[in-house]
């Protein structure tokens, strides 16, 4: 995973807009939020999904970088004063604290737009174009009003209200699950996977995404969310609906373990080729122990 993280980081650097071609400030703000990143979970999953279906790294690498750009844009906008109002991100000043609110809004817009430019611009050999169009559609759906933005809106509207398990699951499926699932789907698609292989990867993604978010909530509650997770500001955290707040820590961990097991089961058709994806699912749950 560490080697893949470095491969993703190098691709992200290479695929940023060329200096000189764009205003320096906005490029600096884009890079500031991209580096140093976290564990690069989503692009690493896309790389591994591509390998599992027998694809080559270069088929999926730009898309993997684009997925991380979309994830990063969502963090930049979520941190804004009008949303989570979070001054810190991964222990550093949030983008709007560093560059001002206007530039943070524009840098977020830029990361989102650049992701689609990267997806549509790199390595689009004619015979790959239909799969590329499907990958773009899958990512736009995951990032859009039926996915990440839906999660954010529902989260916003749930603040201060009593929450239920279905509503928390829906929020999490949007905010975190949709893009994780799409990372697997895109990796499978661009790696040349068959329809049923891509479906199996999506099911794995659903399980892993849910497990990841539950454990993130647990770690956040226990005050040790640094690293893998998104650390949200204390004010925001106090208002947010989480699994442990509703179910308690132990029941939440059991729910995450069940989701991770379902993810591993979905990998059966791939046999031993999927050993690393299975390890990743287990690792996500175990970091809470």
At closest approach, how far in Å is the CB of 152 from a copy of itself? 6
Regarding 97 and contact with a copy of itself (CB under 8 A), the answer is: no
Which CB, 94 or 278, lies closer to a copy of itself? 94
Q: Does 133 bind a copy of itself (CB under 8 A)?
A: yes
Is residue 240 involved in binding a copy of itself (CB under 8 A)?
no
CB contact set of 23 (below 8 Å; sequence gap of 6+): none
Alpha carbons 111 and 182: distance in angstroms, whole number:
17
Q: CA–CA separation, 165 vs 172, rounded Å?
A: 11
* 93 lines the binding site for a copy of itself (CB under 8 A): no
Identify the DSSP state of 17: P
Quote the tokens at residue 79: 């941190």
Our finding on whether 279 is near a copy of itself (CB under 8 A) is no
Task: Say which residues have a Cβ less than 8 Å from residue 84's Cβ, sequence separation at least 6.
Answer: 78, 232, 233, 236
Question: Is position 117 an interface residue for a copy of itself (rule: CB under 8 A)?
Answer: yes
Q: In whole angstroms, how close is the CB of 172 to a copy of itself at the nearest point?
A: 15
DSSP 165-221: HHHHHHHHIIIIIHHHHHHHHHHHHHTT--HHHHHHHHHHHHHHHHHHHHHHHHHHH
Shortest approach of a copy of itself to residue 232 CB, angstroms?
15
Contact present, 107 and 29 (Cβ < 8 Å): yes
* Per CB under 8 A, 152 contacts a copy of itself: yes
Q: Does 249 bind a copy of itself (CB under 8 A)?
A: no
Give the residue, chosen from 10, 19, 83, 226, that forms a contact with a copy of itself under the rule CB under 8 A: 83
Min. distance of Cβ 60 from a copy of itself in angstroms? 16
Residue 237 in contact with a copy of itself, rule: CB under 8 A: no
Residue 103 in the binding site for a copy of itself (CB under 8 A): yes
Given the rule CB under 8 A, which of 39-47, 129-137, 182-190, 221-229 is the region that contacts a copy of itself? 129-137
d(CA 51, CA 59): 10
Nearest Cα to 42, choosing from 226, 158, 191, 185? 185
Q: Which stretch binds a copy of itself (CB under 8 A): 5-13, 17-25, 231-239, 269-277?
A: 17-25
Nearer of residues 4 and 206 to a copy of itself, judged by Cβ: 206
Dist CA 77 CA 267 (whole Å): 34
- 195 in contact with a copy of itself (CB under 8 A): no
- In angstroms, what is the minimal distance from the CB of 104 to a copy of itself? 8
Size of the site for a copy of itself (CB under 8 A): 51
Residue 160 neighbours by CB under 8 Å, 6+ apart? 239
Cis preceding-peptide flag for 64 (omega within 30 of 0): no
Among 13, 54, 56, 144, binds a copy of itself (CB under 8 A): 144
């Amino acid at each position: 995973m560490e080697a893949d993280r470095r491969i993703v980081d190098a691709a992200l650097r290479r695929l940023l807009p060329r200096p000189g071609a764009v205003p320096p400030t906005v490029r600096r703000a884009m890079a500031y939020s991209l580096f140093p990143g976290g564990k690069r979970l989503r692009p690493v999953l896309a790389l591994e999904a591509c390998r599992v279906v027998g694809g080559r790294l270069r088929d999926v690498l730009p898309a993997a970088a684009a997925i991380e750009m979309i994830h990063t844009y969502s963090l930049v906008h979520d941190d804004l004063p009008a949303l989570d109002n979070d001054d810190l991100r991964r222990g550093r000043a949030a983008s709007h604290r560093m560059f001002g609110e206007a530039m943070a809004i524009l840098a977020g817009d830029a990361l989102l737009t650049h992701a689609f430019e990267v997806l549509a611009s790199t390595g689009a050999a004619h015979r790959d174009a239909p799969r590329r169009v499907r990958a773009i559609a899958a990512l736009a759906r995951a990032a859009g009003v039926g996915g990440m933005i839906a999660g954010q809106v529902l989260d916003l509207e749930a603040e201060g209200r009593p929450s239920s398990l279905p509503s928390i699951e829906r929020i999490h499926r949007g905010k975190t699950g949709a893009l994780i699932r799409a990372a697997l789907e895109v990796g499978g698609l661009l790696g040349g996977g068959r329809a049923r292989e891509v479906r199996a990867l999506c099911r794995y993604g659903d399980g892993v995404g849910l497990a990841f978010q539950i454990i993130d909530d647990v770690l956040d509650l226990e005050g040790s969310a640094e690293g893998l997770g998104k650390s949200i500001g204390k004010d925001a955290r106090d208002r947010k609906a989480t699994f442990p707040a509703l179910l308690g820590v132990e029941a939440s961990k059991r729910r995450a373990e069940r989701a991770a097991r379902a993810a591993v089961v979905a990998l059966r058709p791939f046999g031993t080729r999927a050993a690393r994806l299975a390890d990743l699912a287990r690792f996500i749950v175990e970091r809470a122990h």
